[in-house]
Structure 1
């Protein structure tokens, strides 16, 4: 009895964790298989319901609430701008990515050589480097926070602008479609910023006294755009309010709202989306199988050591 009690005390934490993994893994597999079946039926239903139209032709009222497919060139309204940096672009999205020069703490178990600003604590070696990071690093958690202090916030935040209106032919794309544009291309202005404290170097806009020797807290910005005006895109969605393309819902409550770069036939759109769904399903399967493997591995180990 004492041996059994001791064994139970030693294995109960791993048993609880492995049981949770089994529940999560089994639940994920059950949900994923149901989702896969639902998606496949929804794609077949949508493919049968969809019609191909010419976006440049006169709007036909009989197409209202119908699932349609078309392709054409992107047309945007007012340009997206970053006036302080002389950035102006006709696109669906304009992304501003901000990086700050900060201290970064790394740890190693053994000291393989001298590094800059090495601090030894509890048989670990802490070393500090400086690099451009797009997220805030909390230096108060460092082993040596007083000599390696980072700013507490970003003076300028990363941001994505979205065009107010986007058209393909005579049809306006809803926000649900506009946020799908993600093929970002780096852009910069032909003119340097009017502010002399902002320096342009190799496509980056620096808030720094010296771009070659930055200091902690200095900033650099990179701009990119997606959905450039004039590019061709293919859309599948529902016509609403006369000429607006919004998500379409099948009888299985699955949303059909597709956007792809280039000129694609209706069948090509659904083939690509089916491949995307299939990849997502396999990823979920592998995660579920891994969770279940973890359960059986722990239970087998506990049984052997008993």
Structure 2
């Protein structure tokens, strides 16, 4: 059997098969690893600008969202739920009130109806199926080659959705069938927030987290001894007594509000929340997303540097201990360069999207540097000869 997960040269593969797992040992030559490292170098050259673009775009996105939220908070008007004022058509409104749901949603396929007052019904379908796990251990060999031992284990368990068994390393004997039923959700029809009509864009923002008084249903021959293909079905619902919405008034319903900054505002929260609290929560979400994307961009740049330095480690792997030291050193260097490059890109983005704030930060930094410099000079002059 000849195989390679990375396109490199494999000299030999040994396979040991057991009932539910097997082990595969692959060997890759030093020349093949050099070729792979050079390919990685090219990928690193492509990832470097990609990470920079992500960081730069994220700062612009964060500023645009912040400006949109500031604009929305300044023009939003809280309105009563008992009547719709046609004069506010297209305006940004805040509505908070009690829900009216004439008929709860239902799963007609499996004949399950949510309790009265439910806004959403979610059906979760789990299938008893084959699952694959793999563990790999790579060892460097004298001369720069590597040996990788990979163990593939197969077990049966419950998992929502269908795991694609065609992608298993050993699909034979581990096929997963297509389930008869799948997870899906239903929304209540004709739901209203006072006089305002609710549609899917607003209802779908409400999570179905409550269990309903409906036992989990097993679809198969024996629940105590499930077979591959058997199903386990459960239901959850969303049953908020009240809802708060910030959106554009559109007819007798809601739609996204287009801000001058370029975003479309539509916020939905369960319970009665003031408009100010909803905008504050949105600002917090924007801050969290900004830092998450900064971290993602930094990781992309770090991985790019790591790929650029990878050929050095492969060259040093002719003597395995030396390769480990070079790999550790290049990893530290990649991290240090990332900590320099990523903030510089963010600073350039700030100069573009937040010039006043960026200028203030630069001035403060220069003032601190000047003050520290003067303080050090004063201590030098005061020191005894």
Task: Indicate the TM-score class for this superposition, using the shorter chain for normalisation.
Answer: 0.7 to 0.9
Q: 1:14 to 1:138 in 2, by over 3 A?
A: closer
Q: 1:46 to 1:107 in 2, by over 3 A?
A: closer
Single out whichever of 127-136 and 78-87 deviates more from structure 2. Answer: 78-87
Instruction: Output one character per residue of 1:217-273: Cα deviation in whole Å (capped at 9) or x when no partner.
Output: 1111011112x16x12211011111x2111111112211100112221111110000
Offset of residue 188 of structure 1? 3.3
Aligned to 1:216: 228
Single out whichever of 71-80 and 43-52 deviates more from structure 2. Answer: 71-80
Offset of residue 15 of structure 1? 2.1
CA distance in 2, matches of 1:302, 1:216: 46
Q: 1:217 to 1:60 in 2, by over 3 A?
A: same
CA distance in 1, matches of 2:51, 2:151: 38
Q: 1:88 to 1:262 in 2, by over 3 A?
A: closer
Q: Does 1:13 align with 2:39?
A: yes
Alignment of 1:30-41 (within 5 A): 30-41=56-67
Offset of residue 171 of structure 1? 1.0
Aligned to 1:287: 296
Give 5+ residue unaligned stretches, structure 2.
1-33, 138-147, 317-385
Alignment of 1:50-199 (within 5 A): 50-56=76-82, 58-83=83-108, 84-89=110-115, 90-108=117-135, 124-142=150-168, 145-151=171-177, 153-189=178-214
Task: Name the SS of the counterpart of 2:283 in structure 1.
Answer: helix
Give 5+ residue unaligned stretches, structure 1.
1-7, 111-121, 190-202
Offset of residue 297 of structure 1? 3.8
Task: Name the SS of the counterpart of 1:91 in structure 2.
Answer: coil
Q: Contact (CA 8 Å) 2:114, 2:237: kept in 1 or not?
A: no
Q: Contact (CA 8 Å) 1:206, 1:219: kept in 2 or not?
A: yes
Task: Name the SS of the counterpart of 2:114 in structure 1.
Answer: strand
Instruction: Output one character per residue of 1:123-148: Cα deviation in whole Å (capped at 9) or x when no partner.
Output: 65444321111122344454654444
Aligned to 1:5: none
Supply the RMSD in Å over aligned alpha carbons: 2.8
Instruction: Output one character per residue of 1:74-126: Cα deviation in whole Å (capped at 9) or x when no partner.
Output: 2223221125344333422211111111122334469xxxxxxxxxxx96544
Q: Does 1:239 align with 2:249?
A: yes
Task: Name the SS of the counterpart of 1:19 in structure 2.
Answer: helix
Name the structure where helix makes up a greater proportion of residues: 2
TM norm structure 2: 0.64
Q: Contact (CA 8 Å) 1:173, 1:246: kept in 2 or not?
A: no
Number of matched pairs = 272
Q: Contact (CA 8 Å) 2:122, 2:208: kept in 1 or not?
A: no
Identify which of structures 1 and 2 has the higher relative contact order when contacts are C-alpha pairs closer than 8 Å and 6+ apart: 1
Task: Name the SS of the counterpart of 1:128 in structure 2.
Answer: strand
CA distance in 2, matches of 1:254, 1:234: 20
CA distance in 2, matches of 1:288, 1:141: 30
CA distance in 2, matches of 1:10, 1:100: 39
Single out whichever of 204-213 and 27-36 deviates more from structure 2. Answer: 204-213
Instruction: Return the match for 1:44 from 65, 70, 76.
Output: 70
Name the structure where strand makes up a greater proportion of residues: 1
Q: Contact (CA 8 Å) 1:87, 1:188: kept in 2 or not?
A: no
TM norm structure 1: 0.79
Aligned to 2:268: 259
Q: 1:277 to 1:88 in 2, by over 3 A?
A: same
Q: 1:215 to 1:267 in 2, by over 3 A?
A: same
